[in-house]
Amino acid sequence: MKFFQYLLKIDRRIIYIVMGLLVTLPLVKPLGLGVTSGPRAARLFQAVDSIPAGKTLLISVDFDPASMPELYPMLTAVMRHAFAKNLKVLLCGLWPTGMGLAIKAATDIPPEYGKKYGEDVVYLGYKPGVDAVILGMGENIKNVYPYDYSGRSLDSLPMMRDVQRLRDIPMIVALSAGTPGYSDWLAYAQSRYGMKVGTGLTAVSAADAYPFLQSGQLTGLLAGMKGAAEYEVLVQKSNYSKAYMPAVAAMDSQSLAHVVIMILVIIGNIAYFVTRKRRS
């Protein structure tokens, strides 16, 4: 009885410690609590997988550090997939605050596959103006971005010889945390230049994109950390990568956190009903 009364007013700090530990643990040592791949992520994976080797995949980094836990793992997973399939990766972005993240990915990932900057991957940087940038890239990428993010002329980068404008690129994956983002790529790049558009979004904004998926305008969608984890698993399963999977680890944390909260609620209710019965 006393035990239940104690439970009812359990020190919140115990709750915090338990939760903190259980969330941290899987990050250090992923458990792989069975992330299964949903159809939306599978569609994106298939689309990227079916691009012939040597072609270029465009990835738009439209998010800032605040959405990094959800969207950055998507960026690395899609890049790993592309490099494993011998695709080239062109990065660009509609958010100025996304530059640091794109640079990080462009430096960290290619060496894993022996890929080189300029030959297999190029980051264009950020240019203000959304529709003007996309439409300009449709005409000629060099008009919008004469130089890459670090000021190297695009003419000096061998990869850009085959990629003149959006029509040379079969598909774009827009990783967006809001607007501007995938909707702009749909509105301009898809309707005008017929590009395939796939997207990765934060969990909060994913629901808005489902109609586009149903109408077939979007080729696949990764929703939040779960979507990122699904993609990581797909990449791993196909033996494209053996790297640490941050989103899968995060999903484990996520699962444990949800379970902790639910167990807490159950314990709280048991204690509540037991003490109430005794009292009455």
Place of tokens 């796939």: 198
Is 19 one of the binding residues for another protein (CB under 8 A)? yes
Distance CA 122, CA 118 (A): 5
Closest distance of CB 194 from another protein, Å: 6
Distance CA 219, CA 199 (A): 8
Number of residues engaging another protein in binding (CB under 8 A):
53
| Interface pattern 196-215 for another protein (x via CB under 8 A) | ------xxx--x--------
- Reduced DSSP (H G I as helix, E B as strand, rest coil) percent helix, strand, coil of the chain, to 5: 60, 15, 25
Of 192 and 278, CB closest to another protein:
192
| Long-range contact set of residues 107-113: C-beta below 8 Å, sequence gap at least 24 | 108/76, 109/76, 109/79, 109/80, 109/83, 110/79, 110/83, 112/80, 112/83, 112/241, 112/243, 113/80, 113/83, 113/84
Contacts of another protein in 171-200 (CB under 8 A): 191-192, 194
Please report which helix (H) or strand (E) contains residue 204, including its range.
helix 203-206
DSSP 265: H
Q: Which of 5, 6, 15, 242 binds another protein (CB under 8 A)?
A: 15
Is 132 one of the binding residues for another protein (CB under 8 A)? no
Q: Which of 83, 195, 226, 240 binds another protein (CB under 8 A)?
A: 226
DSSP 196: E
Place of tokens 């990449």: 235
Q: Which of 5, 6, 24, 119 binds another protein (CB under 8 A)?
A: 24
Is 34 one of the binding residues for another protein (CB under 8 A)? yes
Is 250 one of the binding residues for another protein (CB under 8 A)? yes
Which spans of this chain sit near another protein (rule: CB under 8 A)? 10, 12-13, 15-16, 19-20, 23-24, 27-28, 33-36, 65-66, 68-70, 96, 99, 191-192, 194, 202-204, 207, 224-226, 243-244, 246, 249-251, 253-255, 257-262, 264-265, 268-269, 272-273
